[in-house]
């Protein structure tokens, strides 16, 4: 598990702009995930050989009474609890506010290392230092003057973050689960949806404690399984519920452990309760699986308690596809863990998705597909010039990640990204997350800089 760095602060201080600047690229997501990115957004980054994960959060307003803002604050608090280092973003042009001081008070109580980022300083170094000095009053240590919008001061901020990270652990930089042939499957879901019962039903033995009392499972439990020649590890996790319903601190750590288990897996099985309509938390869990690039199987459990009419099942399926359309590529299964109905199908699909998760496409076939896509749906005009897509290659697996060389890496419209993603899915029959990176041709940045010398120093 890579170290986590939470970006927090009151509203409108530039947290998301800083998040995008620190990540330095548009990751796999080609569209926003409803109900997820407004809470916590995770993305990986690297600096001077150290890999870590940034967490973007909503505006943090201590003591806020509005219910929506309370939920946003709760998400930010959970990010603070699970992270290793905090970046506290402030607006240096506006100066130190009472809200900044309230956030600082909370962060001091957390006991976590904090780096203060005095943002929105677009002037010379001397002026930046002068305006940032006020934030030393917060008593959180060094203050980094910077401009997230223009990239000023970002290297210094990175250096401060890396200096405060915990010692590097063995295996920390692994980008994906080790490819030793073992398929790792994380069973996730809200409390009391039947996760432990499903594991026991698949194993045909009582491996984990199953109870109707929510919260029975505290720690992730690994169960090895050999199935049709495949080696699997099934991991039962604690029920993941909304932060405001977490009553005990031990359960908070159970939730964090469950999320970390999902990140280390190849496939996440999201278990839902057929007797309850899909809720926001189900959507958030599905969104987190997509954000962290895990293959996803959506399993509707307790179907034996619902009328088994085929038409009702299709109606339920269509409803799920609509409410979880941002993971619309994921298979949906209907099971009964208690009776054992269709539980083997869950394993069959998990194995299939694990193979797709590590799929690698031949480069010649990819470039023939790129040519076909451009011929059938020409790329749009960007900044007055045609968008040109020169070359595509697959740069990694787990999940499948593709890099496209183009003349405008930052200008590819979201609609065209979705078109490319859908064509890749259709051509290679992929039902797992896909990542697409857009890159400039080698030397393109230098050539553009020579053409526009008056813009140098502004980025």
Q: Which of 116-120, 220-224, 396-400 has the lowest mean pLDDT?
A: 220-224
* pTM for this entry: 0.61
CA angle 339, 301, 243 (to 5 degrees): 135
Query: What is the location of CATH 3.30.300.20 in the chain?
Result: 363-451
CA 359/CA 372 separation, integer angstroms: 21
The predicted pLDDT at position 43 comes to 75
pLDDT of residue 450: 58
Extract the tokens encoding 37. Answer: 């990115």
- CATH number of the domain at 183-357, out of 3.40.190.10, 3.40.50.300, 2.60.120.10, 3.30.950.10? 3.40.50.300
pLDDT class of 124 with cuts at 50, 70, 90: very low
CA 207 vs CA 184, 336, 347, 406: distances in Å: 17, 18, 17, 52
Residue with tokens 């973003």: 89
Residues 374-380: what's their mean pLDDT? 92
Specify the CATH number of the domain 4-164.
Answer: 3.40.50.300
pLDDT digits (tens, 9 = 90+) for 192-251: 888 888 988 998 865 443 444 344 333 456 788 889 999 998 888 765 554 444 343 333
When pLDDT is averaged across residues 147-155 and rounded to a whole number, the result is 89
- 106 vs 1: which has the higher pLDDT: 106
Q: Where in the chain is the domain with CATH 3.40.50.300?
A: 4-164, 183-357
Q: Are 369 and 427 in contact (CB under 8 A)?
A: yes
Mean of pLDDT values over 100-128: 84
Query: Which pLDDT value is given to residue 299?
Result: 96
Place of tokens 């998301």: 16
The Cα 274–Cα 300 span in angstroms is 6
The yes/no answer on whether domain 363-451 falls in CATH 1.20.1260.10 is: no
Q: What are 191's two structure tokens? A: 């409390």
For residue 2, the model assigns a pLDDT of 79
Let me know if 290 is exposed, middle or buried by CB neighbors in 10 A (0-12, 13-18, 19+).
buried
């Amino acid at each position: 598990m890579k170290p986590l760095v939470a970006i927090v602060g009151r509203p409108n201080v530039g947290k998301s702009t800083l998040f995008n600047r620190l990540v330095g690229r548009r990751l796999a997501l080609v569209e926003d995930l409803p109900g997820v990115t407004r809470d916590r957004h995770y993305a990986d980054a690297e600096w001077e050989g150290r890999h870590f994960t940034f967490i973007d959060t909503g505006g943090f307003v201590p003591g806020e009474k509005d219910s929506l803002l309370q939920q946003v604050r709760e998400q930010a608090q959970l990010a603070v609890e699970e992270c290793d280092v905090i970046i506290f973003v402030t607006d240096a042009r506006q100066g130190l506010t009472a809200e900044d001081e309230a956030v600082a008070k909370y962060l001091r109580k957390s006991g976590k290392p904090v780096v203060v980022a005095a943002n929105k300083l677009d002037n010379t170094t001397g002026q930046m230092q002068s305006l940032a000095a006020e934030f030393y009053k917060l008593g959180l240590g060094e203050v980094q003057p910077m401009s997230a919008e223009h990239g000023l001061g970002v290297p210094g901020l990175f250096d401060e973050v890396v200096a405060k990270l915990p010692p590097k652990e063995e295996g920390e930089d692994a980008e994906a689960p080790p490819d030793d042939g073992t398929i790792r499957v994380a069973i996730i879901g809200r409390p009391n949806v039947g996760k432990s019962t499903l594991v026991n039903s698949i194993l045909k033995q009582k491996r984990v404690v199953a109870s109707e009392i929510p919260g029975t499972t505290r720690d992730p439990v690994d169960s090895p399984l050999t199935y049709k020649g495949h080696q699997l590890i099934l991991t039962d996790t604690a029920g993941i519920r909304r932060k405001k319903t977490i009553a005990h601190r031990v359960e908070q750590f159970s939730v964090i452990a469950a999320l970390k288990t999902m990140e280390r897996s190849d496939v996440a099985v999201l278990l839902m309760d057929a007797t309850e309509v899909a809720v926001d938390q189900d959507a958030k869990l599905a969104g987190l699986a997509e954000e962290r690039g895990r293959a996803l199987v959506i399993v509707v459990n307790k179907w034996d308690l619902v009328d088994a009419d085929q038409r009702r099942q299709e109606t339920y399926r269509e409803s799920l596809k609509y409410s979880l359309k941002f993971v619309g590529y994921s298979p949906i299964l209907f099971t009964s863990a208690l009776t054992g109905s269709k539980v083997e199908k869950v394993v069959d699909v998990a194995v299939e998705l694990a193979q797709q998760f590590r799929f690698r496409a031949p480069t010649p076939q990819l470039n023939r597909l790129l040519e076909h896509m451009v011929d059938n749906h020409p790329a749009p005009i960007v900044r007055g010039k045609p968008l040109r897509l020169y070359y595509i290659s697959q740069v990694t697996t787990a999940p499948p990640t593709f890099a496209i060389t183009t003349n405008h890496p930052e200008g590819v419209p979201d609609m065209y990204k979705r078109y490319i993603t859908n064509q890749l899915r259709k051509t290679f029959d992929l039902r797992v997350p896909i990542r697409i990176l857009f890159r400039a041709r080698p030397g393109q940045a230098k050539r553009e800089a020579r053409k526009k010398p008056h813009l140098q120093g502004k980025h």
